[in-house]
Amino acid sequence: TKDYTLINALIESFPVTATGEILYDHVDEAKYMLILSLIKQKNAALEDMILSYSSLTTSEKVASLIMSDYSKNWQSKDLAMQMNMSVSTFKKKMYKDTGSVSSYITKIKMIEALRQLRRTNRPINSIAISLGYTSSSYFTSVFKKHFKIFPSEVRKNDGHPTEGSTENYP
């Protein structure tokens, strides 16, 4: 609606003859002004998006990247490159914020695994593949180590942990 308001304002600003006809020699100038105004509006939205992204911590940006493609086999070098950092600087920052990079990647993927187990009926091997695990047995062992419960038990217990298995359970 902002765009239409601007267009209407521009049309109303065109000089007209005594009979009410628009003097079209001013139309090109108006088009130029409209385009500039639209670019400013779109750039403001883009600038806001960039500013909000830049205020995120490194670990939040990494989480966003991982969540954008769970199936990818994320490595520190890939993430460091995405963050425009050297691998050593990236690892130091991440370790300070979250611990090891690989543990953080696993944590994010395990949270998504738990979400899918609770909210979908997808087979466990399908969930494993969607999270980048080539072996459902390896996925199961990682899940068990992380949550102290097997993926199949999550569904049996309607998504609730068994007694004493809440340590890493969100």
**The predicted structure's pLDDT at residue 134:** 93
Structure tokens at 15: 């000089």
Q: Which residue has the tokens 């600038």?
A: 47
CB of 112 closer than 8 Å to CB of 67 = yes
Is 142 found in the same domain as 70?
A: yes
Q: How much is the average pLDDT of 39-43?
A: 64
Q: What is the CATH number of the domain that holds 124?
A: 1.10.10.60
Domain count, the chain: 2
Q: Is residue 161 part of a domain?
A: no
Average per-residue pLDDT for the chain = 79
Do 67 and 141 sit in the same domain of this protein? yes
Say whether pLDDT at 150 is over 50.
Answer: yes
Do residue 137 and residue 70 come from a single domain? yes
Distance CA 9, CA 18 (A): 20
- How far apart are alpha carbons 27 and 66 in whole angstroms? 49
Mean pLDDT within 13-42: 62
Average pLDDT, stretch 121-139?
95
Q: Are residues 45 and 92 in the same domain?
A: no
Domain coverage including residue 76: 58-156
Largest CA distance in the chain: 86
The predicted-structure confidence for 63-75, as pLDDT tens digits, reads as follows 989 999 999 999 9
Q: What is the pLDDT of residues 2-21, one digit of tens each?
A: 555 655 665 666 666 677 66
- Do 76 and 47 share a structural domain? no
Q: What is the pLDDT of residue 102?
A: 95
